């Protein structure tokens, strides 16, 4: 069993938890993910590592309530335990040798982008973070990003905080103003990663995106997480989750991600009724 040692509400639908999992904490790196089950009857869901404390033996997960399992998870409290917590899975984000990077995060994807930005900062890389949210109420991890970024650009869709507009506008502006990046790392909704990659392709800047497809085992067995990258089938769990942003077939990834949406909606509503939401 894996104890929840800290729970913090980051915004109305995004929650942070520190989970006691010493074996995972010892090895976890930014970019990797874990698979958890809340209880014996639960499904296996992948969540990207949001941070880790090797001394305390804890791993941070940050999740948005989108389905039955995340709803159940949201109702668990400090002191409760998860049934299963396996990892770290997937390859860590490659940061070696990078001198100047733009980290682009969108929505809850910022939770995954943050540990990458932090790691880059720690190795002495110049970090420009561009983070985007729908509105002011949904902003998360602002102070954390500030602490590890040489430059932080805050964007909101409605202009209620930071600058009004999309992260791609901000990225374009920075590049046009003469900033030269070794690499752009984009983590967020698939559609955002698609458009960021579209921008960087024009400028010929290497771009890495973090894909989070439907998964079951996460260890290289089921093949459910397959994507088309550069015309070849790749498995996000063992080949990724990071891929060359200019080669990913995003449209296919979006279609595949929506495969179980009706089922998930039904399950989520059912779970909400159980909790009396």
Partner 1 sequence: MANMSLVKLPMPSQEPDVRNKNFKEVALGYTAEMAVEEAQRCLGCKAMPCVGGCPVKIDIPGFIKHIAEGDFEGAYQVIAKSSSLPAVCGRVCPQETQCEGVCVRGKKGEPVAIGRLERFAADWHNANSTEKPARPEPNGHKVAVIGAGPAGLTCAGDLAKAGYEVTVYEALHMAGGVLVYGIPEFRLPKSIVEHEINGLRDLGVKIETNVIIGRTITIDELFEDGFEAVFIGSGAGLPNFMKIPGENLKGVYSANEFLTRVNLMKAYKQGSATPIKKSDRVAVVGGGNVAMDAARSALRLGAKEVYIVYRRSENELPARAEEIEHAKEEGIIFKTLTNPIKILGDENSVVCGMECISMELGEPDDSGRRRPIKVEGSEHVIDVDCVIMAIGTSPNPLIKNTTEGLDTNKWGCIVADETTGRTSRDGVYAGGDAVTGAATVILAMGAGKTAAASIDEFIKQK
Taking the least distance from each CB to partner 1, the nearer of 91 and 160 is 91
Q: Taking CB under 8 A as the rule, does residue 268 contact partner 1?
A: no
- Count of positions on this chain that bind partner 1 (CB under 8 A): 39
Least distance between partner 1 and beta carbon 28 (Å): 10
Q: Which positions from 177 to 196 touch partner 1 by CB under 8 A, shown as an x/- string?
A: --------------------
Q: Taking CB under 8 A as the rule, does residue 53 contact partner 1?
A: no
Q: Taking CB under 8 A as the rule, does residue 267 contact partner 1?
A: yes
Least distance between partner 1 and beta carbon 43 (Å): 4
Q: Which one of the spans 39-47, 93-101, 115-123, 162-170 is the region binding partner 1 (CB under 8 A)?
A: 39-47
227 close to 233: Cβ distance less than 8 angstroms: yes
Q: Which positions from 55 to 94 touch partner 1 by CB under 8 A, shown as an x/- string?
A: -------------xx-------------xxxxxxx-----
The strand pairing partners of 31, in sequence order, are none
Distance CA(135)–CA(1), nearest Å, equals 37
Structure tokens of 77? 């409290």
Phi-psi region of 254 (alpha: psi -120 to 50; beta: other; left: phi over 0): alpha
Instruction: Compute the C-alpha angle 187/13/62, nearest 5°.
Output: 50
Helix (H, G, I), strand (E, B) or coil at 71: helix
- Name the residue among 8, 99, 80 with its Cα closest to residue 51: 8
Structure tokens of 21? 């999992």
Among the listed residues 9, 147, 191, 255, the single contact to partner 1 using CB under 8 A: 255
Taking the least distance from each CB to partner 1, the nearer of 105 and 241 is 241
String of DSSP letters for 86-155: EEEESPPPP-TT--EEEEEEEGGGHHHHHHHHHHHHHTT-EEEEEEEESSGGG---HHHHHHH-SEEEEE
- Name the residue among 117, 37, 111 with its Cα closest to residue 81: 37
Taking the least distance from each CB to partner 1, the nearer of 76 and 174 is 76
Least distance between partner 1 and beta carbon 37 (Å): 6
Among the listed residues 5, 13, 43, 165, the single contact to partner 1 using CB under 8 A: 43
Distance CA(60)–CA(163), nearest Å, equals 29
For residues 217-246, which are near partner 1 according to CB under 8 A?
217, 219-224, 226-228, 233, 235, 238
- Provide the binding-site residues for partner 1, judged by CB under 8 A: 23-24, 27, 37, 41-44, 68-69, 83-89, 216-217, 219-224, 226-228, 233, 235, 238, 252, 255-256, 259-260, 263-264, 267
């Amino acid at each position: 069993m894996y104890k929840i040692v800290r729970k913090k509400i980051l915004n109305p639908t995004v929650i942070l938890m520190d989970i006691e999992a010493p074996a995972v904490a010892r090895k976890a790196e930014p970019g990797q993910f874990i698979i958890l089950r809340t209880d014996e009857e639960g499904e296996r869901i992948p969540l990207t590592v949001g941070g880790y404390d090797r001394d305390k033996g804890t791993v941070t997960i940050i999740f948005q309530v989108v389905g039955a399992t995340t709803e159940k998870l949201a109702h668990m409290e400090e002191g409760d335990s998860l049934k299963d917590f396996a990892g770290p899975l997937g390859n860590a984000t490659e940061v070696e040798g990078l001198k100047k990077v733009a980290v682009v995060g969108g929505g809850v994807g910022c939770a995954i982008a943050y540990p990458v930005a932090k790691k880059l900062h720690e190795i002495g890389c110049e970090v420009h973070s561009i983070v985007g949210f729908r509105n002011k109420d949904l902003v998360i991890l602002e102070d954390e990003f500030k602490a590890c970024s040489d430059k932080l650009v805050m964007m909101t869709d409605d202009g209620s905080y930071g600058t009004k507009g999309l992260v791609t506008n901000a990225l374009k502006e920075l590049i046009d103003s003469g900033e030269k990046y070794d690499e752009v790392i984009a983590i967020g909704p698939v559609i955002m990663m698609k458009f960021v990659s579209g921008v960087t392709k024009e400028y010929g800047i290497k771009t890495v995106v973090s894909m989070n497809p439907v998964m079951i085992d996460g260890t290289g067995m089921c093949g459910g997480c397959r994507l088309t990258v550069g015309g070849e089938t790749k498995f996000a769990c063992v080949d990724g989750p990071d891929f060359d942003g200019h080669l990913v077939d995003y449209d296919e990834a979006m279609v595949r991600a929506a495969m179980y949406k009706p089922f998930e909606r039904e399950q989520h509503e059912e779970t909400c009724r159980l909790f009396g939401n």
